[in-house]
């Protein structure tokens, strides 16, 4: 049985990047590439719409990506090569800061 792992990517878009522009690139280029990687089982992205704390006017993060993978070592390998380099360079042109977390299910 394959043990899946979930990757959470939290990130803030650059001030000069619109959500529409970024979403278009995700849909047309980045997600098709990411979903084609052998280790990726799920790739979804979400725009943050509000902070739980209603007094927060500028949430720390604009986006959350959720990626389910079968094998972290393979996932890292999937991030290598010329095409991957293009995607990460392009992604970095949209993103001001980010944080990546690996998580496993709490089987409770």
| Domains of the chain with CATH codes | 5-103 (3.30.70.100)
Average pLDDT over the chain, rounded to an integer: 94
pTM: 0.89
Give the pLDDT confidence score for residue 81 in this predicted structure. Answer: 93
41's enclosing H/E stretch is: strand 40-47
Is pLDDT of 34 > 70?
A: yes
* C-alpha span between 71 and 56 (Å, rounded): 37
Which residues neighbour 60 within 8 Å (Cβ) at sequence distance 6 or greater? Answer: 10, 12
Question: What average pLDDT does the segment 54-71 reach?
Answer: 95
* C-alpha span between 40 and 69 (Å, rounded): 5
Spatial contact of 1 and 39, defined as CB atoms under 8 Å apart:
no
Question: What average pLDDT does the segment 59-68 reach?
Answer: 97
Give the pLDDT confidence score for residue 31 in this predicted structure. Answer: 95
Question: What average pLDDT does the segment 73-98 reach?
Answer: 94
**Alpha helix (H) ranges present in the chain?**
19-25, 31-36, 72-78, 82-94
CA atoms within 13 A on the CB side of 90: 17
Give the pLDDT confidence score for residue 93 in this predicted structure. Answer: 97
Give the pLDDT confidence score for residue 2 in this predicted structure. Answer: 61
């Amino acid at each position: 049985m394959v043990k899946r792992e979930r990757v959470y990517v939290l990130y803030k878009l650059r001030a000069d990047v619109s959500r529409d522009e970024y979403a278009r690139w995700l849909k047309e280029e980045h997600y098709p590439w990411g979903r084609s990687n052998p280790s990726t089982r799920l790739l979804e992205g979400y725009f943050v719409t509000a902070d739980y704390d209603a007094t927060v006017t500028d949430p720390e993060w604009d986006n959350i990506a959720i990626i389910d993978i079968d094998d972290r070592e393979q996932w890292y390998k999937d991030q290598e090569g010329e095409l991957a380099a293009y995607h990460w360079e392009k992604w970095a042109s949209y993103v001001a800061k980010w944080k990546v977390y690996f998580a496993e299910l709490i089987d409770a």
